[in-house]
Chains A and B, each alone.
Chain A
Amino acid sequence: MREMVKMVIVLTVLSSLSGGLLAALHNKTEDRIDNQVLKFVQGPAIEKIMEGAENDPVADRFSLDVDDEARDFFVGIFDGEPSTVALETAASGYGGDVGVIVAIDVEKGEIFGVEITTHNETPGIGATVETNEDFKNQFKGMELDGDFAVKDDDGDITAIAGATVTSRAVCKAVRRATDIYQEMRSQINDQVKTFTG
């Protein structure tokens, strides 16, 4: 009996100490990690989509609550007008979530560009989505209520050969992004206007 009690006490104390230490460290590093992710994961993708922007779209961002979750929106200024907003969404691919940055031209109401951020797709097959410009360019200029689906699903997007599941995930993520934008259009547009060149 005494041994039992001792085991319980030792494990409890050890786990609590470990939990407490890690929670404290997590709080301390959280902001820094968010910044690093922004810099190394989302940053390059955003800069690529917004190439030629007059501002730094990674720095010019705002945050809005979407379904009780804070989401970052990145603003791109072209020709002196804050005309583009980008957000990251994700959808399930072949090996977990495929993260997609979707940039929307708020003046024309169409897709400005699409880039892939994080994924775990099969190297050489699904993973090629990251560098397949032909595939990503198909989204450019599509209307916000366009048919974001692969041709197999009666949509307008030609899937990457052999990587239909990944292509579908990207379509779904784009759909999500446009849904969020359309749902919160006025709020987002109000925020976007506050950024001026």
Chain B
Amino acid sequence: MAKTIGQEFVKGLWEEIPPFRLVLGLCPTLAVTKAVENGVGMGLATTFVLVCANLLVSILSGVIPSKIRIACFIIIIATFVTVVELVMQAYTYQLFQELGIFIPLIVVNCIVLGRSEAFASKNGIVPSLADGLGIGIGFTLSLTAISAVRESLGSGTLMGVEVFGPSYEPLSFMVEAPGAFICLGLLLCLMNIASKK
């Protein structure tokens, strides 16, 4: 626990980056990364919930009795998820339509509960904020990377713009669920090669 605030933040970007290193939150990872826009949207929504939940859990950790801590964490997380859901519906309705059920499902995203339980409840406010922000941004980066690969190969576009020209035959396999697993595996493989060097 002798890490500095900076280290708490940075660890979420590589050392413990979800879902590659911290292998949690696979359901939204596989489901929404068909297009970059969805991946980024999902990542940002999760980051918001993660940061707010970490902040509140670390503030309230002294007050919450340990026997009902999980219930309390879930109330806090569910509240912020509903905030995201309402705001998304009101301002970015099309994104909400794309992400659909996966927004309310952030409530049961293991990353969020996992950080509350394993980190925020045992650490102070500032480290918890740094942790939430780091893990959240890491998750957003991962989703962006996966969705960039899947969208460009699977639909031949990137952020809706054609990248390979009209003669490219989209590899529709990549936007299906098995393609997501394979993409995840290959990216993890690249990460392992990079860390070995």
| A, B bound | yes
Interface string of A1-32 (1 = CB under 8 A from B): 00100110011001100100110011001001
Q: A10 and B63 in contact (CB under 8 A), knowing A21-B79, A29-B86?
A: yes
A22 contact set on B, CB distance < 8 A: 79, 82-83, 86
Contact B68 A7 (CB under 8 A): yes
Question: Is A39 positioned at the interface, with any CB of B under 8 Å from its CB?
Answer: yes
Question: Is B72 positioned at the interface, with any CB of A under 8 Å from its CB?
Answer: yes
Interface string of A85-127 (1 = CB under 8 A from B): 0000000000000000000000000000000000000000000
B64 contact set on A, CB distance < 8 A: 10
Contact B79 A11 (CB under 8 A): no
Contact B86 A15 (CB under 8 A): no
Q: A37 and B90 in contact (CB under 8 A), knowing A11-B71, A22-B82?
A: no
Question: Is B7 positioned at the interface, with any CB of A under 8 Å from its CB?
Answer: no
Question: Is B166 positioned at the interface, with any CB of A under 8 Å from its CB?
Answer: no
Q: Which of A10, A25, A36 contacts B93 (CB 8 A)?
A: A36
Instruction: Give chain A nearest CB distance to B36 CB in angstroms.
Output: 20
Q: Is the interface of A mostly helix, strand, loop or mixed?
A: helix
Question: Is A33 positioned at the interface, with any CB of B under 8 Å from its CB?
Answer: yes
A40 contact set on B, CB distance < 8 A: 93-94, 97
Which residue in chain B gives the minimum CB-CB distance to A17? B79
Instruction: Give chain B nearest CB distance to A110 CB in angstroms.
Output: 33
| Cα–Cα, bound, A37→B94 (Å) | 10
Q: Is the interface of B mostly helix, strand, loop or mixed?
A: helix
| Cα–Cα, bound, A32→B94 (Å) | 14
B192 contact set on A, CB distance < 8 A: none
| Cα–Cα, bound, A32→B91 (Å) | 8
Instruction: Give chain B nearest CB distance to A33 CB in angstroms.
Output: 5
| Cα–Cα, bound, A35→B126 (Å) | 39
A11 contact set on B, CB distance < 8 A: 68, 71-72, 75
Question: Is B89 positioned at the interface, with any CB of A under 8 Å from its CB?
Answer: yes
Q: A25 and B86 in contact (CB under 8 A), knowing A18-B76, A18-B79, A39-B93?
A: yes
How many residues of chain A get a CB closer than 8 Å to chain B's CBs? 19
| Cα–Cα, bound, A40→B95 (Å) | 11
Point out which of B76, B91, B93 has the most chain A C-beta atoms below 10 A from its C-beta. Answer: B93
Instruction: Give chain B nearest CB distance to A84 CB in angstroms.
Output: 26
B82 contact set on A, CB distance < 8 A: 22, 25
Contact A18 B75 (CB under 8 A): yes
Instruction: Give chain A nearest CB distance to B84 CB in angstroms.
Output: 10
Contact B90 A10 (CB under 8 A): no
Contact B65 A3 (CB under 8 A): yes
| Cα–Cα, bound, A33→B85 (Å) | 11
Interface string of B91-106 (1 = CB under 8 A from A): 1011001000000000
Question: Is B87 positioned at the interface, with any CB of A under 8 Å from its CB?
Answer: yes
Q: Which of B65, B68, B90 contacts A36 (CB 8 A)?
A: B90
Which residue in chain A gives the minimum CB-CB distance to B67? A7
Contact A33 B75 (CB under 8 A): no
| Cα–Cα, bound, A27→B156 (Å) | 42
What is the interface of chain B, defined by CB distance below 8 A to chain A? Answer: 63-65, 67-68, 71-72, 75-76, 78-79, 82-83, 86-87, 89-91, 93-94, 97
Extra contacts, 4 of them, besides A14-B72, A25-B82, A32-B90 (Cβ < 8 A), are A11-B71, A22-B79, A25-B86, A33-B86
What is the interface of chain A, defined by CB distance below 8 A to chain B? Answer: 3, 6-7, 10-11, 14-15, 18, 21-22, 25-26, 29, 32-33, 36-37, 39-40
Please, could you name 14 A-B residue pairs with CB atoms under 8 Å apart, sorted by A? Answer: A7-B65, A7-B67, A10-B63, A10-B65, A14-B72, A18-B78, A18-B79, A22-B82, A25-B86, A29-B89, A29-B90, A37-B93, A39-B93, A40-B93
